[in-house]
Amino acid sequence: MVLRISGQTPLKSTQHLLERLRCNTCGSYFTAALPEAIQQDGPAEQTYGYSARALMAIQKYFAGAPFYRQQTLQQLFGMP
């Protein structure tokens, strides 16, 4: 039996580009909806989803990592 533990960053960012169309008649804009899996993790207006907020709270209050230290760690991993 072999046990392999792999490392990855605590948080992962994904950019979603939504198609946006304009009606030639009325000039209104229509934007496509986010996929259902994305919407379950929080509204489109939120930068951080529910799962990311939960992980940050666990790191802060259970692991004792202040927010500035979490920010520095994410910057080292190349997170925006």
Q: What is the pLDDT of residues 3-54, one digit of tens each?
A: 776 667 788 888 888 899 999 999 999 999 888 888 888 888 888 889 889 9
**Which pLDDT value is given to residue 76?**
87
Show me where the domains of the chain are located. 49-80
Q: What was the pLDDT predicted at 6?
A: 65
In this prediction, residue 21 carries a pLDDT of 96
Task: Indicate whether 73 pLDDT > 70.
Answer: yes
Band of residue 57 on the pLDDT scale cut at 50, 70, 90 = very high
Q: How many CA atoms lie within 13 A of 19 on its CB side?
A: 3
Q: How far apart are alpha carbons 65 and 56 in whole angstroms?
A: 9
